[in-house]
Structure 1
Amino acid sequence: MTEHEKYQEHIRHTHNAFYMIVIRHAAIDAARSIRSRRSKKISLDYLMDEKHYPFSTTDEYFAEVPTSMEYPFTACGQTVLLKSPHLAAALSSLSEMEQEIIYLYYFERMTHKEIGKRYGRTRSTTGRRIQIILQRLQAELEGLHHEPATSL
């Protein structure tokens, strides 16, 4: 046997030994994994007796209002059906002129200039008036959502 053949045989034995060690460790890891899974299994009887808690809760703020309910809001002789009772109540608490301005702007899609002409005001005054009304509505709606529910 030549020196080159001896070297090739040595490399082959080393290679085989390395792969045998790798295979052995892979088998040990697989056995440990199976043993670990078996130890973590729980019987169904145990799960039936456990008290389960929901994964999440829903705050009243995010709770959906039944969609079948509609609340009327009347302005300028027209009635609009709203799905939010809070919004309908907030709009109803406005003065008649403020209700008309909001109706004309949001439901009739009139511009600030057109609404201003109707009430003898400028475009900028009408725009500012709409902003003030919306701020009041926002404050009122936020107040409604943060008040605790009372039962009589």
Structure 2
Amino acid sequence: MTCTESYKEHIMYTFHGFCKVVIRNAAITAWRDQQRRHKREISLEYLTEEKFYPLGTTDEYFTVPYEEYPVTICGQTIILTNGKLAAALLSLPEKNREIIFLYFFGNYRQWEIGEMYGRCRSTTGYQIHRTLKLLRKEMEVLSHGESESYPL
């Protein structure tokens, strides 16, 4: 069975017509879905103006107010939320407090702190390390309720 030119043309027109119908129906379905979604949606303006719905929530765990412990080091006051840390910092010698403050809160590098105190970088690093050990010991002593501090 041979296909004539007119039969090939007829198949092509039928196929194009079928594609147009499928595309048209898909577009109508998409439009109807969009209209249904639009009917179910509630605008943000309506929620915020007509009825009060909070736009965000927080757990009560995070809303517990912290006690603030101000500590003044190098003429600047820092607010700490850990009372044991504040007490341990205040129990350190002034020079050690300043080094810890400059390194952790002032974002100075070890060699910059060393230049301020006339020391080399490695000595400053050692002092920071030793002060952190001393701070840890003080916090352990405070957490156990002992008033005596241990030497290194």
For normalisation by structure 1, the TM-score amounts to 0.49
For normalisation by structure 2, the TM-score amounts to 0.49
